[in-house]
Amino acid sequence: MRPFLSLNSFVTLRDVGLRDGLQSIQTILPTEKKCDWIDAAYAAGVRHMEVGSFVPAHLMPQLADTASVVAHAKRYADLHITVLVPNLKGAERAIEAGADALLLPISASAAHSAANVKKTPDQMLEILATIDSARKSAGSSITIDVGISTAFGCTIQGDVPESEVVRIAKAAVDAGADEIGLADTVGYADPAQVKRLFTKVQAAIGARCRTAHFHDTRGLALANTVAALDVGIRYFDASLGGIGGCPHAPGASGNVSTEDVVYLLVRMGFETGIDLDRLLVLRKQVSQWLVNEQFNGYIWRAGAAKSSAFLHQ
Ligand code: ZN
């Protein structure tokens, strides 16, 4: 029996391990292994993946092969491929590569934005507008997805005003963004804050407020996931094996692990289209490729519950 089944019971997970996960660890995963990862994730039912980013190779050698990885992912017609881009140049490369969506991060923390990209949030909004123009003049149907990073707090400036997150979300939609996500980049969010902030952003921009992106740095990512579900969010980022960590917090875990979120959702009666057993096999495989890296999460240790919920995924 699945108690929460309704028209609204499907939840989309976007695995971001190939970008958010790999960019924060030392090991450089060879292109063919990334392609194997995509194949296995697809076979497990994953249909949304963030597979890399178009940033200068010298800044992020782990993701220098993103164009090749996108080319491989495109063999699956119904695999929705996202790439992160920091600027217009990256967006042009994403359009050329044929990605389905480009993710432009805009930090709600002025201090984080200055430290990370040496730009103010408003300068990033101007870049967004130039990306929207470039997409139009290229005749591209690529989706522009803005991820509002440090939306729940920042390691440099501490609190981030909720009014600033709402202002950026509105301005981003006005500048051409199709979808907005709220990202807990440093793992500060709590469930009450998640409900409050998503509700405010939904009031401002409606259904364009789509994605929740949680890190499990302080152990609250699953609780935050439930809170976001409660206010109607049905699209979540997660990383296979919870890889990633945070360079500023040694030993801290990274993105919430995809396996754990699938487990949570299936237990609660949501549909994900993802086969948890196959995902766990992939996690094991990836852990053998990244032997010196830290993996996180719970379900891989204990396995799924013996429950009818897991019989016919
Ligand atoms: Zn992240």
Q: How far does residue 133's CA lie from ligand 1's centre (Å)?
A: 27
Does residue 311 register a pLDDT over 50? yes
Whether the per-residue pLDDT at 274 is higher than 60: the answer is yes
Arithmetic mean of pLDDT over the chain: 93
The helix/strand/coil state of 198 is helix
The answer, yes or no, to whether residue 309 has pLDDT greater than 90, is no
Neighbours of ion ligand 1 (CB under 5 A): 20
Residue 1 has pLDDT above 70, yes or no: no
What's the gap in Å between 96 CA and the centre of ligand 1? 25
- Tokens at residue 234, please? 């049905």
* 154: annotated active-site residue: no
Ligand 1 centroid to Cα of residue 70, in Å, is: 20
Judge whether residue 298 has pLDDT over 80: yes
How many other C-beta atoms lie within 10 A of the C-beta of residue 234?
16
- Let me know: does 280 contact 266? Beta carbons within 8 Å: no
241 φ/ψ sector (left φ>0, alpha ψ -120 to 50, else beta): left
Q: What are phi and psi of 205, to 5 degrees?
A: -130, 5
> From CA 45, how far away is CA 81, in angstroms rounded?
14
Q: For position 5, what pLDDT does the model report?
A: 47
For the record, the structure tokens of 282 come out as 């992939």
Label residue 2 by pLDDT band (50, 70, 90). very low
Higher pLDDT among residues 306 and 299, named by residue? 299
Q: Look at residue 130 and tell me whether its pLDDT is greater than 80.
A: yes
pLDDT over 80 at 55, yes or no? yes
Q: Distance between CA 66 and CA 152 in Å, rounded? A: 29
302 CA to centre of ligand 1 in angstroms = 26
Q: Determine the length of the chain.
A: 313
Q: Where are the domains of the chain?
A: 3-311
Q: How far is the CA of 3 from the centre of ligand 1 (A)?
A: 31
Segment holding 15, helix H or strand E: strand 12-15
Q: Look at residue 38 and tell me whether its pLDDT is greater than 80.
A: yes
Query: How far is the centre of ligand 1, averaged over its atoms, from the C-alpha of 1 (Å)?
Result: 34
DSSP state of 29: -
| Contact (CB, 8 A) for 256 and 14 | no
Q: Are 117 and 104 in contact (CB under 8 A)?
A: no
- Across 93-116, average pLDDT: 95
For domain 3-311, give the CATH number: 3.20.20.70
The average pLDDT across 27-54 equals: 97
Report which residue type is found at 61.
P
Across 143-147, average pLDDT: 98
Q: Which of 35, 154, 209, 246 is catalytic?
A: 246
